[in-house]
Amino acid sequence: MSLIEVLRKKTNNTLFTTPSHSGRFFIFKKFQQFYKYDISETDTHAPEEALKRAEKRASLIYGTNHTYFLTNGSSSGIIASVLSCTTPGDKVLIHEDAHISHFNAVKLAGCIPVLYKLPVDKNFGVYRENSVENIEPYLKKEKIKVVIITSPTYEGFVSNIKEIKTLCERYNAYLITDEAHGALYPFSELLPESAVKISDFTIQSLHKTAGGLNPTALLHSSCKIDPIDAINMISTTSPSYPLLATIEANINFLNSKKGKYKINNLIEKLNKLKKTSPYLEFGGNDPTKLLIKSNKMAGNLLSETLYKYGIEDERNNNESVLLLCGVGTNSKKLIRLQKVLKKM
């Protein structure tokens, strides 16, 4: 039985259990359906087994040893993965400008952060991908227990995970890949290779590009360590089953013919859009991200101009603008964007 089927189960019992709204008392009426599915681990519903089965099915889909559903974002997956493969005092190699969760993970694990630099793409004003050449000097210099990389970067620069994993193995270090912005990768041959089967731990946000609700995410382990104890240590004992059920449905969608078509269709449309914008340059090697540079105006000005036409970006800097796309980016949005970009 799927998670959603378990949540739909009706009971004749009168529940004197948490949550006290009992799926019937709707303080916020607009979210009535959400209340109805918001159950606890009672004998009536017993959703824990359904969750375990859903996670097992997910690990088969992704080809990992373990895949866990997270309802506190990739941030919690980064923290759990560091907690599960370190002991206090270990050194963890992280980017000096990494997402805050990388720093928090190292702190909570009682480890020592060793900071690395990344090359900057001057044309677009963003960090480039990581590489063996970039990391090896740090591994040579001191005993590093874990290397954390972000691939793709926020703006869509993708690292060669296989090469970096081989390097980490040579130095007996675990590799954690923050793939928060690459949750679509396992589902299309038109996208860069995902880290899920290569890296020891890979963390993906479903809510960023893959159509998930905030803050749904996944933690994959493809090494011998099962991170479940660490996940439990930093998680509530009352998980949101409605959110967990959306994760199950989300993965099933991405893995379906319909889901794969949606991703490939998005890529095709974005490729076409890029070809019809002669005054713009597009950066990065993730075709779903629109990292745009104009040869007529600075990035910040391009952002302001787009905003005047009703287009809001994810990020911008002096050089470029990032428009984030994902499975929710429909043709209507892209046609509108194309019209506006033609005026730039």
Ligand X SMILES: Cc1ncc(COP(=O)(O)O)c(C=O)c1O
Task: Compute the least distance from the CB of residue 319 to ligand X, in Å.
Answer: 19
Torsion angle (degrees, nearest 10) of CA 304, 337, 247, 256: -160
**Which stretch in 20-28, 46-54, 73-81, 121-129 sits in contact with ligand X by CB under 6 A?**
73-81
Pairing of strands 146-150, 315-316: unpaired
Ordered alpha helix ranges (H), the chain: 3-8, 32-37, 47-62, 73-85, 100-108, 132-141, 161-170, 206-209, 228-233, 241-254, 257-275, 299-308, 331-342
CB closer to ligand X out of 35 and 116: 116
CB closer to ligand X out of 101 and 202: 101
CB closer to ligand X out of 196 and 217: 217
Q: Report if residue 288 touches ligand X, rule: CB under 6 A.
A: no
Task: Compute the least distance from the CB of residue 333 to ligand X, in Å.
Answer: 21
Q: Report if residue 150 touches ligand X, rule: CB under 6 A.
A: yes
Q: Could you give phi then psi for residue 250, rounded to 5 degrees?
A: -60, -45
Task: Compute the least distance from the CB of residue 218 to ligand X, in Å.
Answer: 10
Q: How far apart are CA 326 and CA 208, in angstroms?
A: 8
Q: Which residues contact 124 (CB under 8 A, 6 or more apart)?
A: 155, 283, 284, 291, 293, 319, 320
Q: Report if residue 69 touches ligand X, rule: CB under 6 A.
A: no
Strand, coil or helix: what is 61?
helix
**Which stretch in 46-54, 69-77, 251-259, 329-337 sits in contact with ligand X by CB under 6 A?**
69-77
# binding residues, ligand X (CB under 6 A): 12
CB closer to ligand X out of 35 and 185: 185
Q: Report if residue 79 touches ligand X, rule: CB under 6 A.
A: no
Among 132, 215, 240, 249, binds ligand X (CB under 6 A): 215
Q: Report if residue 329 touches ligand X, rule: CB under 6 A.
A: no
Q: Report if residue 205 touches ligand X, rule: CB under 6 A.
A: yes
Q: What angle do CA 290, 294, 300 make, to 5 degrees?
A: 85
CB closer to ligand X out of 72 and 221: 72
| Token pair 């259990």: residue | 17
Task: Compute the least distance from the CB of residue 298 to ligand X, in Å.
Answer: 24
Q: Could you give phi then psi for residue 307, rounded to 5 degrees?
A: -60, -40
Pairing of strands 315-316, 321-324: antiparallel
Q: Report if residue 73 touches ligand X, rule: CB under 6 A.
A: yes
Q: Report if residue 75 touches ligand X, rule: CB under 6 A.
A: yes
Here's the x/- map for ligand X, 39-58, by CB under 6 A: it reads as --------------------
Strand, coil or helix: what is 254?
helix
Q: How far apart are CA 49 and CA 33, in angstroms?
A: 23
Among 6, 135, 173, 180, binds ligand X (CB under 6 A): 180
User: Could you tell me the two tokens for 135?
Assistant: 């990391």
Q: Which residues contact 328 (CB under 8 A, 6 or more apart)?
A: 211
Q: Which residue is at the shortest CB distance from ligand X? A: 73
Q: Report if residue 178 touches ligand X, rule: CB under 6 A.
A: yes
Sheet holding 280-283, edge to edge: 280-283, 289-294, 321-324, 315-316
Among 106, 217, 273, 327, binds ligand X (CB under 6 A): 217
CB closer to ligand X out of 75 and 222: 75
Here's the x/- map for ligand X, 85-114, by CB under 6 A: it reads as --------------x-x-------------
* C-beta of residue 217 within 8 angstroms of C-beta of residue 77: yes
Residue 118 CA to its chain's centroid (Å): 21
Q: How far apart are CA 144 and CA 42, in angstroms?
A: 45
Among 35, 68, 154, 282, binds ligand X (CB under 6 A): 154
Contact footprint for ligand X (CB under 6 A): 73-75, 99, 101, 150, 154, 178, 180, 205, 215, 217
